[in-house]
Amino acid sequence: MSNYAERANDIVRAVHLLRRHGMAVGFPMQTADGEIIFPVGKDFTLTADQILELLERGELDAEGVRRSVEAQASAAPVRGHRSH
């Protein structure tokens, strides 16, 4: 988990970039285990770590968000048990 206090400026910059790309980004929320999450668009929720990863990869746009969410969804249910 990131040290959010140290990365706060990066997170703010990333949220501004997402908004500049036309994506609605809601206010941050904290999960029960302390993770910071952001509602993005109508259908997505990204963690602060995911947003920072997208920033570092230069993928802070609708396509990057969609790919990140899809990768998380496909990896979550069956980790390490791919059939191919």
List, for residues 4-36, the tens digit of each pLDDT value.
778 899 999 999 999 998 999 999 999 999 999
pLDDT digits over 33-50, tens only? 999 999 998 888 999 999
**Total number of domains in the chain:** 1
- The number of C-alpha atoms within 13 Å of 81 and in the hemisphere containing its C-beta is 4
pLDDT at residue 5 in the model: 79
Residue 77 lies in a domain: no
How many beta carbons lie within 10 A of that of residue 64, not counting itself? 19
Domain membership of residue 13 (yes or no) is: yes
pLDDT at 20: 93
Residue 60 within any structural domain of the chain: yes
Question: Which residues in 1-84 belong to E strands, given as ranges?
Answer: 29-30, 36-40, 44-47
Task: Report yes or no: 45 and 38 within 8 Å, Cβ to Cβ.
Answer: yes
Is 39 part of a structural domain of the chain? yes
Beta bridge partners of 12: none
Segments forming the whole domain that contains residue 24: 4-72
